[in-house]
Structure 1
Amino acid sequence: MFIEPNLSGVRRGWIEVICGSMFSGKTEELIRRLKRARIANLKVEIFKPSIDVRYDPLNIVSHDEKAIPSTPIDNSQTILLLASDVDVVGIDEAQFFDDQLPEVCDQLARRGTRVIVAGLDMDFLGKPFGQIPYLLAKADYITKLHAICVKCGNIASYSYRKVPGANQVLLGEQESYEPRCRVCFHEKD
């Protein structure tokens, strides 16, 4: 990632979005960037939606069990209250947040905060998910990660739901979802 030099002495913020399908490494990449910010002695605050308790009620945990402490919250406005005077804000599972999240991230970036957001860009139907499309439009840097299709071995951009249900939000792991490429996602099994 290219970081523009700051010649004015004024702290500049920006928005980074890490997106992709389930099992593509979004949370792992978020954790990696946040740990590097801490190594640089930057003040970091990390948030996740309170509904995400799959691995841990407090920590952000990747599928390969890398973890970092976070604050579970119910709405994105809370981030503005809890992230005053920080250098870096990390937000995981951004697709589960309310429609104020893009504006919250924009406000943070305008006041000089580096904002790193991770989330699914598409739901199990292959449709844009939650606020991620809006965050992608506002982002200064975008990283799209891919998993490996479990059916054919090609790169996977889709999260295929293996269990029945019409609700857009179904928290699950490998028992409920698998990564698939475009062709395998649209095949009828």
Structure 2
Amino acid sequence: RRVRRAKIARQKVQVFKSSLDTRYDEAKVVSHSGAKVEAISVDHPEEIIAKIDDDTQVVAIDEAQFFSEKIVDVIEFLADRGIRVIVAGLDLDFRGEPFGPMPALLARAEKVDKLTAICMVCGEEATRTQRIIDGKPASYYDPVVMIGAQEKYEARCRRHHIVPDKPNIIQRERK
């Protein structure tokens, strides 16, 4: 939405995404609703700086959770030079734990809009992402990064978010 508004305001916008995000299109950011925006796919955050045009006023970065912690420095660099930076990403991984650089980005953000979805089980507000493998919730010990779309992930509320094998706080303190 913010990218669309910036374009309507005739601001020069460049959109970037992680090369790990190949769900729908390698050259576009595609929302679950099907909306498409041209994007530049990059492997490493530093590539964003090299690929920005001189007249760019707004940089949007999608799926920021897939980037290394270097994305924080890149975004700070751009913002310090007067470029408006819009970042989208999941704050929690499928285990319900902070995801990649997102905590650091959230802490530095001047404005945060935490969006929610609808729980696929009960219809309540969903703040979690449930990974499904072969029709069952994924184990806590599965790899954190595993790119997928609706067939592998579902929105869930806290009550219906299930993570088999997740150690509880008492188990963690014993180790």
Q: 1:110 to 1:183 in 2, by over 3 A?
A: same
Compare relative contact order (CA 8 Å, sep 6+) and give the higher one, 1 or 2: 1
2:14 to 22, 25, 45: 45
User: Structure 1: which 4+ aligned runs deviate by more than 4 Å?
Assistant: none
Would you say 1:78 and 2:47 are equivalent positions?
A: yes
- TM-score, normalised relative to structure 2: 0.86
TM-score by length of 1: 0.80
Is there any run of 5+ residues in structure 1 with no aligned partner, and where?
A: 1-31
Query: Unpaired runs of 5+ in structure 2?
Result: 165-175
* Structure 2 match to 1:23: none
Match of 2:90 in 1: 120
User: What code does the residue aligned with 2:155 have?
Assistant: P
CA deviation after TM superposition for structure 1 residue 184, in Å: 1.1
Cα distance change of structure 1 residues 187 and 138 upon mapping to structure 2, 3 Å threshold:
closer
CA distance in 2 between counterparts of 1:112 and 1:187 reads 42
Q: How far did residue 126 of structure 1 move?
A: 0.2
SS at 2:77's partner residue? helix
Given the alignment, which residue of 145, 148, 171 partners 1:172?
A: 148
C-alpha distance in 2 between matches for 1:187 and 1:64: 27
Q: 1:146 and 2:122 equivalent?
A: no
- Are 1:137 and 2:107 counterparts? yes
One-letter identity of the residue aligned with 1:161: R
Distance 2:53 2:110 in 1: 21
Percent of counterpart pairs with the same letter?
Answer: 46
Query: Superposed, which structure 2 residues align to 1:150-161 within 5 Å?
Result: 150-161=120-131
Tell me if the contact between 2:95 and 2:163 (Cα under 8 Å) persists in the aligned partners: no
Q: Deviations over 1:57-80 (max 9, x none)?
A: 110000111000010001001111
Paired residue type of 1:90: A
SS at match of 1:142: coil
What do residues 112-169 of structure 1 show as CA deviations (whole Å, max 9, x unaligned)?
0100000000001000001111100110000000111111111000001111460101
Is residue 109 of structure 1 aligned with residue 85 of structure 2? no
**What residue is the counterpart of 1:88 in the other structure?**
58
Preserved CA contact (<8 Å) 2:27 2:40: yes
Q: CA RMSD in A?
A: 1.4
Deviation, structure 1 residue 186: 4.2
User: C-alpha separation between the residues in 1 aligned to 2:92 and 2:124?
Assistant: 18
Distance 1:78 1:145, change over 3 A: same
Q: CA deviation at 1:174?
A: 1.5
